[in-house]
Amino acid sequence: MKNKKKLITTIASLALVGAISIGATLAYLNAQSQQMTNTFTPKDGGKNISIELREPNWDGYNFGEGKNPDGSTVNPGYEGDAEALGLNEAKEFSPGDVIAKDPTVKNTCGQDVWVAVTVDKTGLPSYASLNWDKTKWDIVGESGNTVIAYYRTKVTTNGTTSPVFSQVTISDTATEVAGFDIDVKAYAIQGENIDTLDAAKAAFHTEFDSIFPEA
């Protein structure tokens, strides 16, 4: 079979040489179509998705204010009662206090996104509790040190989530208290082609596998 295949190839080549040798006397009818240029334009001009995390009742920073405030200082431009902000109340808390803290996320890009928030409460004492919004958020790992909250629906452009929680309550039965920290961080992935919360959870794991568990 190998010899036969080689022979056929050789004959075809010789025939081509023969055609070339008389090609000067031949002209074939021909035609060609117009060029089709297919342009693909990314959504939102190819910009990356973007979000903002704010806690207005904690430090007085609303969306668009400050340069990525980290929750450690009060907004100097806050026009309300700064002493009533959670940040100031938390500086000298007592048993029975209810302290405002309301982590909320805004979609600041030109396309829908899915949002998730991690809450590190490693140092949260047993006498302090958070009032999770389990209606709008799917709360995972509430009993552990790191809680993951997935917003149940996509957030549209310029849309905001509800607060993951809105207050920290210090038990009025606490007989001894000490300081503690709560760390909050927000994440977002595209909403396009990700149609369900389960699919979004899987996508969060794909993009941030060290943070979000396998769905």
- The predicted pLDDT at position 4 comes to 44
At 124, list the tokens. Answer: 């949260």
Please state, for a pLDDT cut of 90, what percent of the chain lies above it: 74
| pLDDT value at 71 more than 50 | yes
- The predicted pLDDT at position 48 comes to 85
| pLDDT value at 6 more than 60 | no
Any idea where the domains of the chain sit in the sequence? 50-207
- The predicted pLDDT at position 67 comes to 85
Q: What is the pLDDT of residues 168-186, one digit of tens each?
A: 999 999 999 999 999 999 9
- Residue 5 — pLDDT band, cuts 50, 70, 90? very low
- Residue 46 — pLDDT band, cuts 50, 70, 90? low
Q: What is the mean pLDDT of residues 43-70?
A: 88
Residue by residue, DSSP assigns 24-37 as: GG-------PPPP-
Q: Which of 74, 82, 66, 162 is nearest to 115 (CA)?
A: 162
| pLDDT value at 44 more than 80 | no
Eight-class DSSP state of 196: S
Decide which of 8 and 171 is more confident: 171
| pLDDT value at 13 more than 50 | no
Return the minimum-mean-pLDDT range out of 36-40, 99-103, 148-152. Answer: 36-40
| pLDDT value at 95 more than 70 | yes
Considering the domain delimited by 50-207, tell me its CATH architecture: Sandwich (2.60)
Q: What is the mean pLDDT of residues 145-168?
A: 97
- The predicted pLDDT at position 33 comes to 58
What CA–CA distance (Å, rounded) separates 173 from 171?
A: 5
